[in-house]
Structure 1
Amino acid sequence: MRVYFTFDSRPDLQKQLVDQFPEIEFAFRKGIVDNDLETAEVIVTYGEDLSAEDIAKAQNLKWIFVASAGVEKMPKEAIAQRNILVSNVRGIHKKPMTESILAHILSIKRILPTIYNNQRNKVWDKRGGRPTELNGSTALIIGPGAIGGEIGRLLQAFDVYTIGCNRSGNPAEYMNETFRMDEISEHLPKTDIVISVLPSTKETEHLIKYEHFQLMKDNAIFMNFGRGNLVETSVLIRALEEQQIQHAVLDVFEEEPLPLESKLWELDNVTISPHCSSHSSRYLERSLEIFIPSLEKYLAGDTNIENKMNILRGY
């Protein structure tokens, strides 16, 4: 059996796989190679490099392991037509993403950008800026799954009241209360921090509209760490220009990389993060912690593997 990685990885991680599975032929590449496509039974990808034409060439393909949470750039219909098994690494992002989100919140609350700027300019100004405190705040977490739950856990350690927003309204871990997505407007006016970690689906596209920003506090922080199409870019720019909220922290965008001509670059009340909040030196290690047990199951003929996905639904 041939397992084809469409990206290179650390030599020690490659050796770990080769030593643990001597019966498997592994191919570690930097990109798409036709010969590997045609012979691979399993493909490991970040989910952004496969096309419908690639799937057509991969006649032996039975399973795609996506070393990412999102699959919106994958040729879903072509994969579904072949009934190819798809799984991902949902859950491994929660530690680095939560640390990124918490870092941004504390940076804004404790005016770190002002402090850093004053240092560069050799300015000693004890009264510059208006630092605020995180404790006692209310955070609304849109999508309180594995990542949202970890965000809630750490925010609660700062005495933040956490409200979860999901499809069902069923209680979610580390949420003081949880409500349905269609009830979001009722809770935005009492929220200090709005954090979205939603995946990209038909239901979530442009879910947040201009009216939602109007309902937020004028000192609220809006954070999008899920997918960029949650909010139409023009709507987000309008809300920021009109200062409907205090600040937005964006790790994802409708168009990536963010175009140089985008007005978002020019606004003072936005922080632009280049879709890197989940990056970590331990990313691939955590991915293999899911892949290896799944591969063992697959070899034993068990396709009930961790994070098995419905590719057409996107999760």
Structure 2
Amino acid sequence: MSTQSSLTVGIAVPLEAEHVEAIRAVDPSITVLYEPDLLPPERFPADHSGDPSFRRSADAEERYWKLVNSADVLYGFPNESPAGFARVVAENPRLRWVHAMAAGAGGAVKASGVSREDLERVIVTTSAGVHALPLAEFAVMGILNGLKRTAELAEDQRAKNWPDLRVPTRLASGSHVVVAGLGEIGVETARLARALGMTVSGTKRTADPIDGIEEVATAERLPELLARADALVNTLPGTPFTDKLIGREVFSAMRSGTILVNVGRGTVVDEDALLEALENGSVGYACLDVFAVEPLPETSPLWEHPRVLVSPHTSALSAAENRLIAERFADNLRKFQAGEPLPHRVDPVHFY
């Protein structure tokens, strides 16, 4: 941490000027380095990587790296990439803190290959929580899709088929949802689910009670929790401990027709086991925003499965995202100046 009165903050990723000014307003002693001509233009709100066709001239590239290597604190990974993070850690001895745009930035930190020693010097914080509401809304949409048979309705509509027999749908009220990962996203999902009359249980690293959650358990008890569930929502990050956590054992514990929603990381779900569960009926519908390999390969059977919704890792996006992340960063910047611990720090060992 730093208690020095004057800091230099570098804006390493695309950000609107009004949000940069909000960061400057934290403290007039802070120098904020922001050169928008060095940053790729956004193609859509909160496009942190920017236009992939953007190229800097040799002079602009030199200016960009001079900027990020002059900073004590960075807003975003350089070039929004693990390689950019690794390079700035190696080249900038004054760097102390990098704030990542993603909620699950641990994977990128791990992929950078930066040593544990360097991660003690340069702490990384994530934007976890900023995306909680849009992700929770998407998760509830997925549950409702499954309960209300929207996949079958869309298929009948495409075929201009008016079935002779009307098929009933399931009520949200009285349904039971299990949330794997009761962090900020999971708790927000639970709040919205309860507003629709659903009951909720779920998993957490420590099984401490949470208001409004019927039962909190550790991950090894996930199959037990699923015995009476109508839906399973995954919000877990991708770590060695969560890799393929939702696999054959979990699917075999489900009741027939259980809904699966994944807004965590694709590696948490064993996709081969999921396809088996879809075929044997354990999973009645799957709403997937994340996949083990992204973009999802064209050869994946998930693309064309009639009871799967494929979303291209966009469920967290909202027009308000840049403002919310900048506000989170400004709050953290005040804490950093005061020498206080920063929330949502990436664990340098487990990378979550």
Instruction: Please name the residue that 2:219 is paired with.
Output: 181
Pairwise CA distance, 1:104: 2.1
Q: Using the TM superposition, give the Cα deviation of residue 295 of structure 1 relative to its aligned residue in structure 2, in angstroms.
A: 0.9
Supply the AA of the counterpart residue of 2:72.
E
What amino acid is the match of 1:74? Answer: V
User: Helix, strand or coil: the match of 1:69?
Assistant: coil
Question: Shift in Å at residue 91 of structure 1?
Answer: 1.5
Deviates more, 1:241-250 or 1:224-233: 241-250
Cα RMSD over matched residues?
A: 2.5
Q: Is the 8 A contact 1:191 1:220 kept in 2?
A: yes
1:34 aligns with 2:65: yes
The reply on whether 1:18 has 2:24 as its aligned counterpart is: yes
Given that residues 46 and 68 in structure 1 are in contact (C-alpha distance below 8 angstroms), is that contact kept between their aligned partners in structure 2? no
* Matched residue, 2:13: 7
Partner of 1:85: 123
Residue 72 in 1 paired to residue 78 in 2?
no
Q: Residues 69, 132 of structure 1: CA spacing in aligned structure 2 closer, same or farther, 3 A cutoff?
A: same
Report the number of matched residues. 314
Q: Secondary structure at the match of 1:264?
A: helix
TM-score (ref. length: structure 1) = 0.90
Unaligned runs of 5+ in 2: 1-6, 41-48, 50-60
SS of the equivalent of 2:74 reads strand
Report the 3-state secondary structure (helix = DSSP H, G, I; strand = E; otherwise coil) of the residue aligned with 2:261: strand
Correspondence for 1:273: 311
Deviations 1:224-272 (A, max 9, x none): 1111111222222222233331011111111111111111112111111
What is the distance in 2 between the residues matched to 1:173 and 1:276?
Answer: 29
Report the 3-state secondary structure (helix = DSSP H, G, I; strand = E; otherwise coil) of the residue aligned with 1:222.
Answer: strand
* Amino acid paired to 1:65: H
Q: 2:262 touches 2:287 (CA, 8 Å); kept in 1?
A: yes
Task: Tell me, in whole angstroms, the C-alpha distance in 2 between the residues paired with 1:109 and 1:121.
Answer: 21
Distance 2:268 2:299 in 1: 21
Matched with 1:56 is 90
Deviations 1:191-211 (A, max 9, x none): 110111011222111112212
TM-score (norm 2): 0.81
**Greater Cα offset, 27-36 or 238-247:** 27-36
Q: Given that residues 77 and 312 in structure 1 are in contact (C-alpha distance below 8 angstroms), is that contact kept between their aligned partners in structure 2?
A: no
* 1:237 lines up with 2:241 in the alignment: no
Runs of 5+ consecutive residues of structure 1 not aligned to the other structure: none
Amino acid across the alignment from 1:73 = A
The residue number in structure 2 matching 1:312 is: 349
Alpha carbons 1:170, 1:178 under 8 Å: kept: yes
1:165 aligns with: 203
Q: CA deviation at 1:127?
A: 5.5
Task: Indicate the SS of the match to 1:295.
Answer: helix
